[in-house]
Structure 1
Amino acid sequence: MAWQRFTPELARKVLCRRSTNPSRTRLALRHTSTCHPLTCPTVLFITERSEIKEVMMGRKRTIDQQGILDAAERVVARDGAANLSLERVATEAGISKASVLYDFKTKQAVLEAVVERAFARDNAMHSQIEAGLESQENQTITGRVLGAKAPISDPFRNAALNLSAALVLNKPLRAKMQANQAKVIENVHRTASSPRGAQLAYLALEGLKLLENLDFHRFDIEERHRILREVLWLADVEPQERPLPETD
């Protein structure tokens, strides 16, 4: 519940909306002759947050949570996660800070939502690819390889780079990544004809993506496709262990 200041005319509109349950409505009129903006006749109305969203400023919100997260991603890609703020997100989205606060109370909440959405989108993309491979062995690792056929674009690379930095420094966000990776590795094992080979293939694939996403190295497209084909070959291999060389 929250106090919100309305004009008498707007209050009457709200009262009409709540006329089916008048016991929930409480009004207090305050009169003065000075007509100062803060002391002119006003109506203080106690309302649920959902109703504030609907009638505050006499208009509805014009952006949803996804739009706010889109703006946050652009800020992260351009300025880095360390420079993310509710004010910058609001400016990027073209809305007030109060509109951002309605859905996300802190910078951390925005950052966590951006990361969770990135995981959800990535997993959804791979699940869609894997659904078309249902009759094949090595379903998960094959789907992951096919999902990596195209190198990441520069705008997404910038966002991935800056989010990776945030994951390293932020324990709660890192825990989300760890849980996501544990689930992927479990699926790689579960759908593989050679679980150990598929695990090595997954490690090789993630190493390739890490080099690219952090902009440490970029392979030309022909070499990249050859690496991906070799990753698929590796998934079928039954690895053999060799003793580690002894060192002084």
Structure 2
Amino acid sequence: MKRERVVLREGAVGLSIDAVAKEAGVSKATVMYDHKSKQDLLSDLISRLMSVEEERVQQAIAESNNTPHPALYGRIISASNALSHTERAVVLAVSASLANDTNIRDTMRSCTNKDLDEIKRGPKPDAAVLVYLALSGIYCQEFFDFYKWSPGERDKIIEGIRCLYESYPDKSE
């Protein structure tokens, strides 16, 4: 949480070993034990956020076990929860680091490929990919703080996305 507070207060540019040490009330050497550079701090922060999101999605998938496509419906359920102010702010602040860090891009690319592989294995893979892209669009709009839907608007959008999957013709028949 110390890194997140620094990023919220000062942006990704202000994230430094010194700033995190000061925020945590520890020595710079203590922070450097785990993070050798600012890029390590950013990479770790992004990895942690991705891990938290993956846990949230996996829990939603488990709760969607009785649906036609648990991997997809779990992602729909997960997307139905609006992002917190902290999540949006941190993602917005660190997104600039993606341009400079191939490791972070590779990690995110790997996660995307894993997601797509998983949803393509279920029924109606073409529809599942469309739904995944629609959910990604919502996330991008919110992550970059382009638009914030009211809870009612968001519910309608998520329901529409779910209906898109359900009404999409099954071309495997």
> With structure 1 as the length reference, what TM-score do the two structures score?
0.65
Match status 1:180 vs 2:108: no
Using the TM superposition, give the Cα deviation of residue 170 of structure 1 relative to its aligned residue in structure 2, in angstroms. 2.2
**1:119 and 1:156 mapped to 2: Cα distance?**
11
Using the TM superposition, give the Cα deviation of residue 168 of structure 1 relative to its aligned residue in structure 2, in angstroms. 3.2
Corresponding residue pairs, total: 170
Using the TM superposition, give the Cα deviation of residue 239 of structure 1 relative to its aligned residue in structure 2, in angstroms. 7.9
For residues 80-101 of structure 1, give each alpha carbon's deviation from its aligned partner in whole angstroms, at most 9, with x where no partner exists: 2222110001001111101111
For residues 10-67 of structure 1, give each alpha carbon's deviation from its aligned partner in whole angstroms, at most 9, with x where no partner exists: xxxxxxxxxxxxxxxxxxxxxxxxxxxxxxxxxxxxxxxxxxxxxxxxxxxxxxxxxx
**1:104 and 1:122 mapped to 2: Cα distance?**
22
- Any residues of structure 2 matched to 1:138-157 within 5 Å, and which? 138-157=69-88
Match status 1:226 vs 2:138: no
**1:125 and 1:136 mapped to 2: Cα distance?**
18
Task: Name the amino acid aligned to 2:35.
Answer: F
Equivalent position to 2:64, from 133, 138, 145 = 133
Residue 11 of structure 1: aligned partner: none
Residue 7 of structure 2: aligned partner: 76
Residue 92 of structure 1: aligned partner: 23
**2:11 and 2:103 mapped to 1: Cα distance?**
18
Judge which range, 116-125 or 133-142, deviates more. 133-142
Contact (CA 8 Å) 1:138, 1:235: kept in 2 or not? no
**1:75 and 1:162 mapped to 2: Cα distance?**
10
- For structure 1, list consecutive stretches of 5 or more residues without a partner in the other structure: 1-69, 241-248
Residue 103 of structure 1: aligned partner: 34
Residue 129 of structure 2: aligned partner: 199
Using the TM superposition, give the Cα deviation of residue 195 of structure 1 relative to its aligned residue in structure 2, in angstroms. 0.4
Over 3 Å counting, the alpha-carbon distance change for 1:169 and 1:105 in structure 2 is closer
**1:82 and 1:177 mapped to 2: Cα distance?**
21
Residue 116 of structure 1: aligned partner: 47
Match status 1:167 vs 2:98: yes
SS at match of 2:129: helix
**1:118 and 1:183 mapped to 2: Cα distance?**
17
Equivalent position to 2:146, from 209, 216, 221 = 216
Using the TM superposition, give the Cα deviation of residue 135 of structure 1 relative to its aligned residue in structure 2, in angstroms. 3.1
Task: Name the amino acid aligned to 1:96.
Answer: S
**1:77 and 1:174 mapped to 2: Cα distance?**
22
**2:169 and 2:21 mapped to 1: Cα distance?**
53
Using the TM superposition, give the Cα deviation of residue 165 of structure 1 relative to its aligned residue in structure 2, in angstroms. 2.1
SS at match of 1:73: helix
Task: Name the amino acid aligned to 2:33.
Answer: Y
Task: Name the amino acid aligned to 1:206.
Answer: S
Task: Name the amino acid aligned to 1:162.
Answer: A
Using the TM superposition, give the Cα deviation of residue 137 of structure 1 relative to its aligned residue in structure 2, in angstroms. 1.6
